[in-house]
A and B are shown apart, each in its own frame.
Chain A
Amino acid sequence: MWKEKRSMNSNLIDKITAWEPRAVWTEGGDGMFTVPADGFHDLAGRLLSEGFDFLRSLTGMDWGEAGFGVVYHLEATATGENVVLRTLTEEREHPVLPSVCDLWKAAELNEREVFDYFGVRFLNHPDMRRLFLRDDWVGYPLRKDYDPAQNPLRMSNEVSKDSSPTYELQSDGSYIRKRNVLFEEDEYVINIGPQHPATHGVLRFRVSLEGEIIKKLDPHCGYIHRGIEKMCEELTYPQTLALTDRLDYLGATQNRHALCMCIEKGLGVEVSERVQYIRTIMDELQRIDSHLLFFACLCMDMGALTAFFYGFRDREKVLDILEQTTGGRLIQTYNTIGGVQADIHPDFVRKTKEFIAYMRPKLREYHEVFTGNVIAQERLKGTGVLTREDAISFGATGGTGRAAGWACDVRKRHPYAVYGKVDFEEVLFTEGDCFARYMVRMKEIEQSMNIIEQLIDNIPEGEYQLKMKPVIRIPEGSYYAAVEGSRGEFGVFLESRGDKSPYRMKFRSTGLPLVACLETIARGTKIADLIAIGGTLDYVVPDIDR
């Protein structure tokens, strides 16, 4: 599968070298182009106009002597072509790179993240504030020469600023710092979160209101930032696995699946058919679990507390199935490099079938109590519309993208595990409103059950764990692998220098693009709509903050 893609790429390699002769193609893992910083923005614009409209992932890097840089994973949504680019600057004191947030809106928060981690300033980026860390943080933590002793635990409050810095290039090559005003003095700004019943975790919005109507919204992330990417750089590959379960806790198996796939791809290991089946079934069970929780929480956000309990009651049954096999309910630690932790429990097949038989009528009940309800329909239909173009530009994958009519399912775009063999429908809507986002997920529960039904009786015999070397070293190069998580594309970017721990590990968060597009969707809606929009976007905060 991977080889096939590279041959497709060779055509593209010629094109790109024609557009930008200074671009150098390097092999090693997935391979990537190195583009000089001054020509990068032009090339990026060219690629965008050629159809590369989806910025899958944007990763900041510290290549030591070679300087700081950014790796871009691009995909053309029409053709499915992929290309990986990087650009870098040798300057270590005040690194500056061109911003691409005018081309892909997804870059906006991601470039802030790179600034936060590496101190790379992006020219013409409207909002160069830190994204996760406090404003008074000293140094840039993902730099290889960072000293953690500079930042003791601070007990003072962080004052939120009402303006943001931006950097513009002057004609003489220097750049100047300007200020962008976020909130005026006399605006009615309220804080929603970090402690608030409807933010599903510790996410904070500063919302400027006019009566009930939202004029502006400014998300603040980082309240549950743990620096998982930094931690991974000091852990061995098997040890990093434990951290993925703590990202999107409603997609624990899927996240871990992505990391295992990425490591297995680096090692060139092919796991057994049985493992593929088990992983697929587990991913789908996890998806049902997540979507049931989505339903429950959305109902609660909308004030229908009873439906909340129905969702949780049925989710409990999925958790029981997962717990019996994996030994964990939320944190499952199930996938391992080259297999899974334990074979499926003898009761697993029977219980899963029982659950599906139980769940179908319950879904009808959900539709009766909530979906069909005139109040719910009135509140969800037509509110919080995200257009297909915006969804792609923000990289808002998963149910959010599919509700806007973008066929962004990784299971269909880049089939992995046994998704290529099963027959399922990619649920698509075109409205892009809250109701479409809600319905996508409700329909996906049905599709997930279909997938499980096709697989559950045909799990082939075989090893559940390949014999791996005691110390795992991945050949030098960079690798990217993605799965369809419960709320979008969850990707792992891994750069290895042949050591037993990764040189850089980046998790493409499923939730960060959703937070990024929130401002666009929520502007002009009412405060009650913000809650419905937040509920239907279905972000999970530890996945955003990492």
Chain B
Amino acid sequence: MHALLTSLMPLRLAVFIECVIVGVCLLLMYAVIAVVMIFMERKVCAAFQCRLGPVRVGFWGLLQVPADVLKMLTKEIITIRRSDRFLYNLAPYIVILASVLAFACLPVNKGLEVLDFNVGVFFLMAASSIGVVGILLAGWSSNNKYSLIGAMRSGAQMISYELSIGLSILTIIVLTDTMQFSEIVARQADGWFLFKGHVPALVAFVIYLIAGNAEVNRGPFDLPEAESELTAGYHTEYSGMHFGLFYVAEFVNLFIVAGVAATIFLGGWMPLHIAGWEGFNTVMDYIPGFVWFFGKAFFVVGLLMWIKWTFPRLRIDQILTLEWKYLVPIGLANLLLMVIVVVFKLHF
């Protein structure tokens, strides 16, 4: 396609058009994933709660979420008196921007990734942590006491848990000695890191799931929007599509967390291979890579939803205790263990 475009127009324009096309595709995929995630959340949570979930709009309730999106788009965006107008309007876009940037890093299939640096992991973490700024701004600018408490909680929580995420990813990077996502996936061709790195990788995986769950503010770590305490936390005052942006970003962030978990622990788009089972391996190879990726990512999403819909919410001091007294020390010890494993070549 690149050749076709360059034959028709100057190089710069071609690159520009390509960028636009990629951007549009990315946003499209972003939106589709958000819709799928919301639908999945509603159905899964209903099943845990002895309910059916949406069944009325469309077959099996399939059109419920598109209908909700339409409703959200047509709703009025209410501006709050005596709020900081500029920051108030800016905040949801910062959150969504961080989310889209992080989303762009995910390698969906072989060669199918938008951003692929040699420091891809680093970039992803940097980009995703912009989101906390948006949340803080939202809480501050709403001129609402609930929102402010929610924002403060979210600040304390997200910044703390970034540490654990970093540590658990670092553990895997020790094993791979690369930070490029495509490389990380490529090195799992002969076995996923979860199996290759055995004990330390498994511990890192669990820590990553807990910290990732906290990072996207989902139950049992949903303190910033703790419904029964702070009504809706930092987005109490948002309405219409501004609220919709927070909502979408939350779900796609969940997907990103799951996607990263799938990429660095579960082999990304690599099919499942079991050494010695040649027939099995060839069958697995026929399944396209993106199916593998989405399958793994949604498996992790399902796991996180199962957790969310089982546990009560933690309290702010307990969240910080969990992070600083449990996850960080364990993560550090685990990192050390992984270094030992790598140095003495104890991995598979």
Contacts and interface: CB of A to CB of B under 8 A. Distances in A.
Q: CB atoms of A and B under 8 A apart anywhere in the complex?
A: yes
Interface of A: 188, 190, 196-198, 209, 211-212, 299-310, 313, 369-370, 373, 375-376, 378-379, 526-529, 531
A370 B226 contact: no
B310 A306 contact: yes
Given A309-B50, A313-B50, A375-B220, A303 B315 contact: no
A198 B311 CA distance: 18
Nearest to A313: B50
Given A188-B145, A190-B145, A303 B313 contact: yes
A526 B315 contact: yes
Nearest to A298: B312
B214 to A, nearest CB: 13
Contacts of A309: 49-51
Contacts of B311: 303-304, 373, 375
Nearest to A309: B49
Given A198-B229, A303-B222, A375-B313, 16 more contacts: A190-B145, A190-B149, A299-B312, A303-B311, A304-B312, A306-B49, A309-B49, A313-B50, A375-B314, A378-B314, A526-B316, A526-B317, A527-B229, A527-B230, A528-B223, A528-B226
29 contacts: A190-B145, A190-B146, A196-B231, A197-B227, A198-B228, A198-B229, A300-B228, A302-B313, A303-B222, A303-B227, A303-B228, A303-B313, A304-B312, A306-B45, A306-B49, A309-B49, A309-B50, A310-B49, A370-B312, A373-B311, A375-B312, A375-B314, A378-B314, A378-B315, A379-B312, A526-B316, A527-B230, A528-B226, A528-B315
Interface of B: 45, 48-51, 145-146, 149, 152-153, 219-220, 222-223, 226-231, 309-318
**Considering residues B223, B311, B312, B318, which has the most beta carbons from chain A within 10 angstroms of its beta carbon?**
B312
Given A301-B228, A303-B220, A304-B310, A529 B50 contact: no
Contacts of A211: 152
Contacts of A308: 49
A306 B315 CA distance: 18
Given A190-B145, A198-B229, A300-B228, A528 B312 contact: no
Contacts of B50: 309-310, 313
Query: Which DSSP category, helix, strand, loop or mixed, fits chain A's interface?
Result: helix
Contacts, number: 83
Given A306-B49, A309-B51, A376 B228 contact: no
Given A302-B313, A305-B49, A309-B51, A531 B146 contact: no
Contacts of B49: 305-306, 308-310
Contacts of A376: 312
Nearest to B144: A190
B260 to A, nearest CB: 25
A531 B229 contact: yes
B312 A531 contact: no
B50 to A, nearest CB: 6
A528 B228 CA distance: 9
Contacts of A305: 45, 49, 309
Contact of A303 (B149, B312, B317): B312
A301 B228 CA distance: 5
Given A527-B149, A528-B226, A303 B219 contact: yes
Contacts of B229: 198, 527-528, 531
